[in-house]
Amino acid sequence: MRFATLALLALAALAGCSPPAPKPSPKLAWAYPTGKPVALPAPPAGPQHVPGSPLTLDLVAIEKAGALPDWFPDEHPAPPAIVAHAAAKGPTPCGECHLIAGVGFPGAADLEGLPAAYIIEQVKEFRAGRRRSAQADRLDTLEMIKVAQQVSDADLAAAAAYYAALTRRARHRVIETDTVPATRPSYFGWLDLVANGKPEPIAGRIIEVPEDTDRLFLSDPHLTIIDYAPFGSVVRGEKLVRTGGPGGQACASCHGADLRGGDTAPPLAGRSAAYLARMLWDFKTGARTGPAAAPMATPAGKLNEAQITDIVAYLAARAP
C-alpha cells in the first residue's frame, strides 16, 4: 500500500515536470478541422476535363491501375514511381496527397520547389517522431507519418529531387471580408463548403476553400484556393512578419528577403494559410520539435492565435 502510494506520488511528480501535451487551440479550430468519419468521395465516372488541359481522363480507370491523374504532363519532368504509382508493398504514392504537380491538397503541404534537402529532412523528422500535429489524432498527419515510416531512403531521395526541381505555383487568393460561405469540418482535415448554406460572420477566422469543389476532387493543380481572411489581417500580418512580432526576429532574416526561402529555411510566400497556421501552432506547442525545429522556437513561441491568423493571411497573399 505504502509502495503504491509512493509510486503514485512519483508518477505525479514526473507528470508535473513534463511539458503539457501539445493541443490545438479552439481559436484556431479553422486550421485543424475535424469532422465525423465518412468515406472519401469515389472518383466521378466517365470522361473528365479540367480547364486548360488538353486531356480527357477516366479517373475510375486511372485509380484501378494504381495511377494518379496527370492533367498537365508537359509542365513537369516524368515523375518517379514513388510519386505517381501505387506499389504492392510500398507507401501511398506522394502524388496522392501532394499531387504530381506538387501543389498539395487541402490538409497536405505543397512541395513543389522546396529544397530537396529540406524535403528529405522533414520526412525523416516525421519518421523519428519529432514532427507530429498538435492535434494528436489528426488523420492527415498520421497518414504522412505512416508514409515516412514505409518509404525507402532511395525512393525518398527520388521524390525529393523531383519535387525540388518544380517551379512554385501561385495557388492562393486571399480575400478580406466580414462574411464567409458556410463550411463544415471534413473528416479529412479541411473545410467543406455547405451547399446552399447561409453566409456566416468570419469571426476572426480564416476560411480556406477551393474555388471549385469538383475540380478539387479531380486533382486539378491549376485550381485556385481561396483564403477568406478578416479585414486588416494582411496589413497587420505584414508588420508582424517584418518585425518578427513578440519573438523579435524578422521572418525574412531566415526565410529570405521575399519570403521565398532562405539558405536554411523553407519558403513561406503564397502557401496555404491553414497549413502555415498549423505549423506555427505545432512549433509553439512542441508538436514539431528537435534540433531541426529549434530555430522556430523563438519566432513561434510567443505568437498568439490572432497574430498567427494575421501572419498567415499575409504570407498566403504573397507571390510564391
- Note the residues at the interface with ligand HEC (CB under 6 A): 82, 91-92, 94, 96-98, 107-109, 111, 114, 119, 121-123, 133, 140-141, 143-144, 147, 151, 156, 159, 241, 244-245, 247, 249, 251, 253-255, 264-266, 268, 276, 278-280, 292-293, 295-296, 299, 311
* Residue 166 C-beta: closest distance to ligand HEC, Å: 13
Sequential DSSP letters for the chain: -HHHHHHHHHHHHHHHHSPPPP---GGGGGGS------PPPPPPSSEE--TT----EEHHHHHHTT----S-GGGSPPPPHHHH---SSSPPPTHHHH-TTS---TTS---TT--HHHHHHHHHHHHHTSB--SSTT-HHHHHHHHHHHHS-HHHHHHHHHHHHTSPP---EEEEE-SEE--EEE-TTSSEEEPTTPPPEE-TT--EEEES-HHHHHTT-TT--EEEEE-TTHHHHHHHHHHH-GGG---THHHH-TTSS--SSS---TT--HHHHHHHHHHHHHTSB-STTTGGGHHHHHT--HHHHHHHHHHHHHS--
Nearest CB to ligand HEC, comparing residues 179 and 253: 253
Pairing of strands 225-229, 172-176: parallel
Nearest CB to ligand HEC, comparing residues 69 and 266: 266
* Residue 45 C-beta: closest distance to ligand HEC, Å: 23
* Residue 236 C-beta: closest distance to ligand HEC, Å: 13
Nearest CB to ligand HEC, comparing residues 50 and 119: 119
* Residue 299 C-beta: closest distance to ligand HEC, Å: 4
* Residue 149 C-beta: closest distance to ligand HEC, Å: 11
Nearest CB to ligand HEC, comparing residues 98 and 236: 98
Nearest CB to ligand HEC, comparing residues 89 and 179: 89
* Residue 21 C-beta: closest distance to ligand HEC, Å: 16
* Residue 174 C-beta: closest distance to ligand HEC, Å: 15
Nearest CB to ligand HEC, comparing residues 54 and 162: 162
Nearest CB to ligand HEC, comparing residues 200 and 238: 238
